[in-house]
């Protein structure tokens, strides 16, 4: 615990852990997206896409984002995009809210189904537990959120390490054989690019923890480390599932499929608990970004967002998202997820690597 409170951890490692925490619950926790964007292109092709494209892209964009945030003291997305896009900053917020409701609806449904299927808790009970956990964390604010996301990330690392060790022990020859085949299918680079782009919109949820960074060196190092920190559990999972290539490709939840094949019930139970925690992480990260944005707007008027208001905002947003999912709207709008990704590309990535770099250089010269 003392290490988690150290200056070194908060400056260099915490941003990467926060990014990973928000990514995994809305992303690769079940393993489905890692199969979709990487393993579909062959064991070696997927590995190349994951390491050479996704990890590198994440690291570079995170480094630029962290330094822009530090340079302009922009620790919420409202301030950040006002500095980056000027009067057009609201375009990001529109896209972010569209993503917000899709992701929250999906993880809310997943939370209910997960507890109902594996622990016999009624669907609505799982949703209520999710609501209560996110509401409590947002009520407590940034300090507890940083601690929870960090600790749960370390627990996640431990479970994924156990995950890959079991896979190597039980299915090692198959894993080795499939990697040795060297299968690289066309599209591996585009798969890695799409996956990296798919997740970069959540960077808004990381900005609140960048206040610990004080120098350009710290910002760049933290950003470069963020990519490997975020992808590492995914890499462990990927190694584990390669042993079942290509049979695992159509599996809806590859992680559960693999654990069932391993025949270790306790690991399956632990994994489901950890997966539920990642859903809480993702929901908390997304909504805390909204709270910080509202807090920034109130501060400009000499006011302050109170803890109870933070919790109420969280519960209200989550409730709306869950109601949308129950009406089946999420199936309709989720088809536009690719459009959202390209929206972030043109509203965030392109401006950051052009206008963002230019504005930082001007600030450095002054």
- Mean pLDDT for 173-192 is 93
Q: What is the pLDDT of residue 151?
A: 87
Contacts 24+ apart (CB under 8 A), 336-339: 336/98, 337/102, 337/198
Flag whether 303 is in a domain: yes
Structural contact between residues 79 and 204, judged by C-beta atoms closer than 8 angstroms: no
Flag whether 216 is in a domain: yes
Non-local CB neighbours of 234 within 8 Å, separated by 6+ positions: 24, 28, 34, 50
Q: The tokens of 174 are what?
A: 């198959």
- Mean pLDDT for 94-107 is 83
Using one digit for the tens of pLDDT, what is the confidence trace for 308-328? Answer: 888 888 888 888 887 776 665
What total of structural domains would you count in the chain? 1
Alpha carbon distance, N-terminus to C-terminus of the chain: 41
Using one digit for the tens of pLDDT, what is the confidence trace for 219-275? Answer: 999 999 999 999 998 899 899 989 999 888 888 778 778 888 888 888 888 888 888
Flag whether 134 is in a domain: yes
Using one digit for the tens of pLDDT, what is the confidence trace for 23-33? Answer: 876 556 677 78
Which residue would you say has higher pLDDT here, 19 or 1? 19
Flag whether 219 is in a domain: yes
Q: How confident is the model at residue 349 (pLDDT cuts 50, 70, 90)?
A: very high
CATH code of 39's domain: 1.20.1740.10
Nearest to 293 by CA among 362, 361, 205: 205
Domain coverage including residue 53: 7-365
Q: What is the pLDDT of residue 133?
A: 87
Distance CA(243)–CA(171), nearest Å, equals 6
Which residue would you say has higher pLDDT here, 97 or 222? 222
Nearest to 155 by CA among 275, 11, 26: 275
Q: The tokens of 341 are what?
A: 């990704």
Using one digit for the tens of pLDDT, what is the confidence trace for 110-129? Answer: 777 778 877 788 888 888 88
Angle at alpha carbon of residue 33, lines to 135 and 289, rounded to 5°: 30
Non-local CB neighbours of 140 within 8 Å, separated by 6+ positions: 307
**Residue 199: which H helix or E strand, with range?**
helix 188-200
Flag whether 32 is in a domain: yes
Flag whether 2 is in a domain: no
> Residue 284: pLDDT above 60?
yes
Flag whether 257 is in a domain: yes
Flag whether 1 is in a domain: no
């Amino acid at each position: 615990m003392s290490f988690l409170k150290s200056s070194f951890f908060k400056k260099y490692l915490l941003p990467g852990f926060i990014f990973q925490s928000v990514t995994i619950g809305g992303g690769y926790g079940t393993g489905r997206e890692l199969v979709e964007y990487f393993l579909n292109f062959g064991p070696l092709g997927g590995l190349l896409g994951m390491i050479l494209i996704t990890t590198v892209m994440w690291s570079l964009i995170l480094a630029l984002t962290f330094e822009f945030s530090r340079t302009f003291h922009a620790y919420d997305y409202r301030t950040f995009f006002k500095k980056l896009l000027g009067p057009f900053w609201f375009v990001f917020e529109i896209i972010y809210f569209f993503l917000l409701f899709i992701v929250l609806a999906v993880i809310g449904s997943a939370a209910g189904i997960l507890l109902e299927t594996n622990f016999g808790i009624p669907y609505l009970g799982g949703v209520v537990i999710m609501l209560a956990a996110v509401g409590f964390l947002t009520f407590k604010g940034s300090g507890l959120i940083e601690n929870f996301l960090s600790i749960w990330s370390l627990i996640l690392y431990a479970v994924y390490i156990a995950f890959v060790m079991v896979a190597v022990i039980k299915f090692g020859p198959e894993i080795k054989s499939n990697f040795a085949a060297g299968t690289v299918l066309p599209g591996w680079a585009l798969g890695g690019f799409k996956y990296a782009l798919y997740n970069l919109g959540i960077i808004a949820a990381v900005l609140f923890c960048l206040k610990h960074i004080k120098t350009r060196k710290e910002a760049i190092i933290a950003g470069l480390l963020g990519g490997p920190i975020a992808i590492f559990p995914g890499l462990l999972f990927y190694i584990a599932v390669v042993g079942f290539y290509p049979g695992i490709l159509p599996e809806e939840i590859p992680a559960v499929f693999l654990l069932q094949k391993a025949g270790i019930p306790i690991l399956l139970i632990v994994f489901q608990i950890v997966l539920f925690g990642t859903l809480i992480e993702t929901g908390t990260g997304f909504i805390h970004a909204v709270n910080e944005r509202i807090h920034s707007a109130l501060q400009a008027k000499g006011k302050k967002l109170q803890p109870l208001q933070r919790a109420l905002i969280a519960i209200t947003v989550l409730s709306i998202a869950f109601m949308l999912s129950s009406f089946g709207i999420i199936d309709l709008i989720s088809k536009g997820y690719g459009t959202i990704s390209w929206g972030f590309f043109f509203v965030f990535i392109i401006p950051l690597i052009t206008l963002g770099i230019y504005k930082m250089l001007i600030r450095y010269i002054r």
